Structure 1
Amino acid sequence: MTTQPSAAFNLRAYQPQDLSALVALFQASVSQLTTQHYDTAQRQAWSPEVADMLAWQTRFAQLELLIAEDGCAIAGFIGFSLDGHIDLLYCAPSHARQGVASALYAAAEQRLRAAGVRELFTEASLVAQAFFAAQGFSVQQAQTVTRGAAMLPRMLMGKTLERR
């Protein structure tokens, strides 16, 4: 018998009191998990040491957010909108490559399918590109985002959901 990746994680909806924990997870993820693809200046531009909490609060308010917990620790989160946009998908460095992203993505896709969404898209970092490709996304366009003086390469990726 195989265990589903989500079996070890409790998935729940975002609560406003999660804000600082999710921003801290994002910062740790960017600083620790992206070093093979982005240099120090790029990582600092992507995730400044002092986060704009009001900007994060506003961004989170515009998304459907799911959080994966392992016991009482937040293992990761995904943010998406009902137009098919996967906006955020981050795992805590301590939970990387343990099925957290897969569990979060599967739950988000299930919700999007239930809402009638047929096309998904994301702007994947170079780190996340392989993950999204494994979920059936394909690269539509290479992009570059400018954050301050830093240029951050990423990939616009898309996926058509087959009717079930």
Structure 2
Amino acid sequence: MLTVRPYVPADADLTIEIFLRAIREVASKDYNQAQIDAWAKVEDRDAWAKRRSSRPAWIVKYGDVSIGFADLVPDGLLDMMFVHPDYQGMGAASLLLTTVEAEARKQGLGRIFTEASLTARAFFERRGFRVLVSQIVEKRGQTLENFRMEKFL
């Protein structure tokens, strides 16, 4: 059974692990090794923890196991949403997105947007997002393609 709870500061290391494993084990099918190595880094744990704590963020759990997370920036940016590779396809990302959308509506936002990876693009399209633009972003000397996407609520 999947449940969602608010992020707490003690979740920082857990979310870092999920982030790194999702990129290394899931996004690696769409990006080359140099791109993965550049993207899958958290150089400042405290800055990471501060960012997650500075905005609404959630942890999705499967029973007692925390398997994913998402957060929402005040302007409507769905900044991060990652699910642990061992728990892909169970509905965790859908539950997180539903939670993000509910919070956005509660805040009076008319839309949410994200910068989706090649890996995540199809998920967001199936849930009503549309691509605004394909973009090339730089991470630690590597270029990666992603998609600026939005959904009106």
TM, length-normalised to structure 1: 0.89
Which residue does 2:15 correspond to in 1?
22
Which residue does 2:143 correspond to in 1?
151
Whichever residue aligns with residue 105 of structure 1, its letter is L
Which residue does 1:105 correspond to in 2?
97
Residues 1:65 and 2:57 aligned together: yes
Q: Is 2:114–2:149's contact at 8 Å kept on the other side of the alignment?
A: yes
Which residue does 2:115 correspond to in 1?
123
Structure-2 separation of matches of 1:145 and 1:59: 20
- Deviation, 1:70, is 1.2
After TM superposition, what 4+ stretches of structure 1 lie above 6 angstroms from structure 2? Answer: none
Instruction: Calculate percent identity across the aligned residue pairs.
Output: 32
Structure label with greater radius of gyration: 1
Q: How many residues end up aligned between the 2 structures?
A: 153
Paired residue secondary structure (1:127): helix
TM, length-normalised to structure 2: 0.95
- Alignment counterpart, residue 132 of structure 1, candidates 124, 127, 141: 124
- Deviation, 1:154, is 0.4
Paired residue secondary structure (1:58): helix
- Deviation, 1:63, is 2.3
Q: What root-mean-square deviation, in Å, do the aligned CA atoms of Structure 1 and Structure 2 show?
A: 1.2
- Alignment counterpart, residue 33 of structure 2, candidates 29, 36, 40: 40
Whichever residue aligns with residue 44 of structure 1, its letter is D
Segments of 5+ residues of structure 1 without an aligned counterpart are: 1-7
- Deviation, 1:38, is 0.5
Whichever residue aligns with residue 67 of structure 2, its letter is A
Whichever residue aligns with residue 106 of structure 2, its letter is A
